[in-house]
Structure 1
Amino acid sequence: MTLGLRRRLLVMLIVPLLLLAVINAWYDYRSADNVALRQDQGLLALVPLLADSIVGEGRTVGEPSVLLLAPPVQDFLKSGPRHAAYAISDADGKVLHGDQWLAGLPPTSREPEFHTEEYGGVAWRIVRQRQQTVLGEVVVALADGSDPRQQWARSILFRVLLPNLVLVVAAAFAVRWAVERALRPLLELRDALERRSPRDLSSIDEAGSPDEVRPLVRSLNRLFGLVDAQAESQRRFIADASHQLRTPLAGLQTQVEAWAQAAGAPAAGRGTVQLTAEEVRKLRGAARRTSQLANQLLALSRADARAMLAQPMQPVELKALCGAMLETHLDAATAKRIDLGLDAQAVQLPGHEWLLRELLGNLVDNAVKYTPEGGSVTIRCGRRAGAAFLEVEDDGPGIAPGERQRVLERFYRVQGTQGEGNGLGLAIADEIARAHHAHLALQPGAGGRGLRVGLVFPGSGPEKP
């Protein structure tokens, strides 16, 4: 895996060619071996014919016997005079007819014996066998210098190895050229990415890439989209935070400086000016609003739907989450004599628990804050038509139909709204809903009074038994 892609492709393509060359050489040798086997059989068939070629003894002592070669033996000797030889020896090894160099130890049995000998720079295939003739028992030897196995061994360099080596070298150059051409889109993609600015997170054109590279380009585009979404979320958070925190911090600083100056100035008839309870209350309210705004801005940044697409989801139990929110806001509801109720069924869905906790907390906080004293707020969760749902309903002033879409915008507040707020609660809830592929719906409550804010989680799976 440490080799480059080019080297790996070259190795993967050239090695099979080398294996094919070796297999070709092996098959060539096997073919030569089969031919040599048939040649041995042909030599063995000529042995009795050569023995029968002795037709009589010499007329006088010392005169060689009469030899009349059979036509097949003559054809064998004439077809390759430089690569064909014979010898007929008596039981003592004396050559009666033929080539002297073929004299040797006679076979120990009447079975033919085959072996290969070197003579005169030629590898001879020799067969020897005892035969009964008119002279008695003789040893007949036939030699063939055109053994295909030996011919193959001598010509293997020029007939097999050299052509295959030339083929492999030519194939290596051809494959290298083809690999360079095939990898050019990857090299162009690399160059394009290296030339990019760190701020350029635009998508790469998939249509201009080969089919094999498109999954990589698609993954890169998805990564660019996630990084761009995260960067855009950070830019929006910085812009929103710098814009929205400037006013409350400036007001808080102005009040503190004014009170500091007043505290140091003498008052008529008494000592230095003392802070009144109303002024302390205003100071506490300003600090609380600033803290709430900072926390909501942080939650809005973390809840950005596009930035959450890469985060894995975990099973979340909505009933337990609703119960926890009831306990958290029970004191605030009791202080306003609001009936805070819970209508929850056990339901589980995949999601981000801390985000759903933030969503439900914002909805319940808004409902308790804007519902008048003596009102009621109900937290619900369960299943409808096979899908999980979560909603908060109150009997407060509600929101006019024309304002329901605008209240989901950041920092938007309905004109004439009483109480403290930054216009971020429903915007945060909408971001969290989109992060869970759900839609935040704002509808009137029971009997057309108040407001019911809920969301349905599509694809949340069947109800647990």
Structure 2
Amino acid sequence: MAAETGQRSLFGEILDWMLAPLLLIWPISVALTWLVAQGIASRPYDRELGEMARTLGLQVASAAPLPEGRSARSRYALAPEAAALLRADETDTVYYQVLGLRGELLNGDAKLPVPPEDDVIVPWELHFRDEDMGSERVRVAYLWVSPEGMAGSTQTMLVQVAETLGKRSRLTNEIIKGVILPQFVILPLAVLLVWLALARGIAPLNELQRRIRSRESSDLSPIDERRIPDEVAPLVRAINDLLARLDQSISSQKHFLADAAHQLKTPLAGLRTQAEFAQREIDEGRSEPAELKRSLQQIALSSQRAAHMVNQLLAMARAEDQEHAARRGEVNLAELATETVRDFVPRALDKRIDLGYEGPDPEASSLTLHGHALLIRELIRNLVDNALLYTPAGGTVTVRIVEDPFGQVSVLQVEDSGPGIPESERDKVFQPFYRALGTNVDGSGLGLAIVREIAQQHEAELSLDDTRPRRPGQQPEPDGQGPGARFTVRFHARPAQPATE
């Protein structure tokens, strides 16, 4: 069985949203049509039934006084012509009823129900209602009649005429058939037209898909926006923006790899040269211990440079890895700074550099960062490493942590007493493999690029200025020290959470 991809068809989605309301409205339309058809069918028959009731009421109201010996039923009996009119309908059965002033049956069908008790009695006002007579549903027209010669009296007689609903139901069905049957032809036609319209409307998307699929994998040029619908233009512009960023990223990676390969050539070539030199000395029998030791030292130095370059490249890749950088937690900046300073103390002593830390005690630090501890440690290490590289013997390097008393910012500063960086080069030093001219420092040129990348990952502000103000025409001091460089990184911080037992 094929695995389900979970993908949805845009064509089917639009078709569903267009046809679902249509299919939902259709039964509602049938129900409304049936109700309207009932009203239309009942109107003429109600008019005819009301005329019958009114005619019967006039006859009852004008009936002569009751002679001696005659019953009330004979007095209010219908004339033969009126009785024939009521019984003339072959489709429906017609009933009538006459009730006296005291509600007694004077004539007609005794089974015909009387109006509800709360019905308002207005003489000669015609009313209609639906009732059940046994198993049949009937329509009743009734009115209250005031007999002649009793003007001003509140007593009335009830006259009712009822009719079964056969003719009405047949006319209602005819109306419904006349309205609904054409819809059985119109509805499939409408579905077909909607299908064709959607197929034609979605054709530009298929054309766009064909153009994208026909591209070479290396073609990252923008998609032409002139031949696409306006509704798809924002999507295409977003794809073009992605292609532009992807092209820039690939170009940067190619440039980075080319620079990295070029930078690795130097230590690797040194390793090969020293190894070949040592081998030639041995082959010629001139393998003096001092010469071999010097060659081995050069080999160790070249391998150390190569290892440092590889570590820096891995650090750069780690800093640029979005998924790796997303694994964040609570970070104590003061603790990372003090640990880094302790790690570099032996190197600082070898170069006779005063390396120190200024800031809060790690255990008493009141602020923490939400970040990646390994990357922030790498940022501090690269700043300290850069300061030690460029600071001459007898100089100073200070790592400083400054915490905002309002609990919003935690600032890291690494400053040295070296030659400093001119303003014209301060933007360039953060580029990969860039090294300031006029220095004999043996570095990879990646340290500050890694610092900038990690700062951007943590949305921190990175700035560079002089440790001491630089005066025009200032000459280096006798000990070789200069205005120095101060790197400042401002992290967003928040109050430290108390430890829970």
TM-score normalised by structure 2 residue count: 0.66
Deviation of 1:378 after TM superposition, in Å, equals: 0.6
Deviation of 1:285 after TM superposition, in Å, equals: 0.9
Task: Kindly provide the amino acid, as one letter, of the partner of residue 24 in structure 1.
Answer: S
Rate the CA distance shift 1:191–1:394 in 2: closer, same or farther, 3 A.
Answer: same
Deviation of 1:295 after TM superposition, in Å, equals: 1.9
Correspondence 1:314 to 2:328: yes
**1:203-256 CA distance string (max 9 Å, x none):** 446787666545644553454355445433432232122212223212211211
Match of 1:357 among 332, 356, 377: 377
CA contact (8 A) 2:41 2:172 kept: no
Which residue does 1:342 correspond to in 2?
357
Match of 1:366 among 376, 386, 393: 386
Which residue does 2:396 correspond to in 1?
376
CA contact (8 A) 1:318 1:348 kept: yes
Correspondence 1:298 to 2:314: yes
Distance 2:424 2:276 in 1: 42
Deviation of 1:393 after TM superposition, in Å, equals: 0.7
Distance 1:353 1:288 in 2: 26
Aligned counterparts, 1:239-258, within 5 A: 239-258=258-277
Rate the CA distance shift 1:219–1:349 in 2: closer, same or farther, 3 A.
Answer: farther
Distance 2:428 2:174 in 1: 94
Residue ranges of structure 1 left out of the alignment (5+ in a row) = 56-64, 89-105, 118-123, 128-139
Correspondence 1:323 to 2:320: no
Match of 2:442 among 420, 423, 426: 420
Deviation of 1:308 after TM superposition, in Å, equals: 4.6
Match of 1:28 among 33, 42, 49: 33
CA contact (8 A) 2:434 2:445 kept: yes
Task: Kindly provide the amino acid, as one letter, of the partner of residue 334 in structure 1.
Answer: L
Judge which range, 293-302 or 27-36, deviates more: 27-36
Distance 2:340 2:172 in 1: 92
Match of 1:10 among 15, 20, 29: 15
Judge which range, 448-457 or 188-197, deviates more: 448-457
CA contact (8 A) 1:32 1:148 kept: no
CA contact (8 A) 1:46 1:73 kept: no
Deviation of 1:377 after TM superposition, in Å, equals: 0.9
Distance 2:493 2:202 in 1: 45
Corresponding residue SS for 2:356:
strand
Rate the CA distance shift 1:208–1:378 in 2: closer, same or farther, 3 A.
Answer: farther
Aligned counterparts, 1:444-463, within 5 A: 444-446=466-468, 448=470, 449-457=482-490, 460=492
Rate the CA distance shift 1:144–1:323 in 2: closer, same or farther, 3 A.
Answer: same
Distance 1:407 1:3 in 2: 50
Which residue does 1:263 correspond to in 2?
282
**1:328-371 CA distance string (max 9 Å, x none):** 21221133332211123544445444333222212201222332
Which residue does 1:332 correspond to in 2?
347
**1:405-446 CA distance string (max 9 Å, x none):** 444444343444234323332333334444445564332213
Deviation of 1:141 after TM superposition, in Å, equals: 11
Task: Kindly provide the amino acid, as one letter, of the partner of residue 391 in structure 2.
Answer: T
CA contact (8 A) 2:461 2:489 kept: yes
Distance 2:192 2:401 in 1: 70
Aligned counterparts, 1:170-185, within 5 A: 170-185=189-204
Task: Kindly provide the amino acid, as one letter, of the partner of residue 169 in structure 1.
Answer: P
Corresponding residue SS for 1:391:
strand
Percentage of identical aligned residues: 33
Aligned length: 409
Name the Cα RMSD after superposition: 4.5
Deviation of 1:266 after TM superposition, in Å, equals: 2.9
Which residue does 1:68 correspond to in 2?
80
Distance 1:188 1:290 in 2: 52
Distance 1:76 1:26 in 2: 34
TM-score normalised by structure 1 residue count: 0.70
CA contact (8 A) 2:401 2:411 kept: yes
Rate the CA distance shift 1:115–1:168 in 2: closer, same or farther, 3 A.
Answer: farther
Match of 1:394 among 416, 434, 453: 416
Task: Kindly provide the amino acid, as one letter, of the partner of residue 288 in structure 1.
Answer: Q
Task: Kindly provide the amino acid, as one letter, of the partner of residue 393 in structure 1.
Answer: E
Residue ranges of structure 2 left out of the alignment (5+ in a row) = 1-5, 65-76, 97-107, 115-131, 141-159, 471-481
Corresponding residue SS for 1:172:
helix
Distance 1:154 1:248 in 2: 99
Rate the CA distance shift 1:453–1:359 in 2: closer, same or farther, 3 A.
Answer: farther
Which residue does 1:280 correspond to in 2?
296
